[in-house]
Amino acid sequence: MKPLAECRLYTFVDTAYLHGRRPEDVARALCDGGSDIIQLRAKDAPADEVRRLAETILPVTNAAGVGLVINDHPQIAHQVGAFACHLGQEDFFEGGYTQATQVRGCPPGFKLGLSTHAPEQAQRALLAGPDYIAIGPIYPTGTKPAAKPVTLDYVRWAAANVTLPWFAIGGVNLQTLDDVLAAGATRICVVSAILNAPDVAEACREYRRRLG
């Protein structure tokens, strides 16, 4: 797959937005549309179900040269040979981790992403040495309805202060994208705006066109 620094469009196979579709079919459409990274997010699913989903999706992403990220389950990510694991602030720091190397383990090249919701969290996360961080939620989002939006001010702060690859997330859609890019983002995560589109692959292509 592309080096992480060259990845710009980060999409999701989120079980809350499958709408009866097979996860591997959604993953294939995301790959066909030009996703650079795909995260498997299956909130509240038992670990064995997450593993089964990952094993279903991984052949699709591997064939397309797209990195698969497993949300919340570093052990499963290791076991199935995923590209990376993504953890929230609480999962990482309250889970007893202080350094990304504690999660990365093996195989060589395994990567870790961390969510951040404020400059202070970003600074703390960066000291832990992840491979990338997520900045958000920028806008209100149905994906995380309880989360307070961090606004474009946090995007501007990240653009001025974060040299590690970072992705803007939360309410990013075709109506908000230009403002997010103008604030300094060069990489984005898109969840519901793509998964709820009538044609997932074409939706991805439109984001790629807008990203330039």
- Distance between CA 211 and CA 208 in Å, rounded? 5
What pLDDT, in 10s, does the model give residues 11-56? 999 999 999 999 999 999 999 999 999 999 999 899 999 999 999 9
Identify the residue with better confidence: 131 or 103: 131
Residue 114 tokens read as 């961390």
* Residue-number span of the structural domain to which 30 is assigned: 4-211
pLDDT at 20: 96
- The domain total for the chain is 1
Q: What is the CATH number of the domain that holds 9?
A: 3.20.20.70
| pLDDT band, residue 141 (cuts 50/70/90) | confident
Residue 207 tokens read as 């984001």
| pLDDT band, residue 105 (cuts 50/70/90) | low
| Run of H or E residues at 41 | strand 37-41
> By CB neighbour count within 10 A (0-12 exposed, 13-18 middle, 19+ buried), where does 126 fall?
middle
Helix (H, G, I), strand (E, B) or coil at 11: strand
Residue 108 in this model has a pLDDT that exceeds 90? no
- Distance between CA 174 and CA 36 in Å, rounded? 18
What is the C-alpha radius of gyration for the chain, rounded to an integer number of angstroms?
16
What pLDDT, in 10s, does the model give residues 80-90? 999 999 999 88
Residue 143 in this model has a pLDDT that exceeds 70? no
Global pTM value: 0.95
Identify the residue with better confidence: 151 or 145: 151
% of the chain surpassing 70 pLDDT = 96
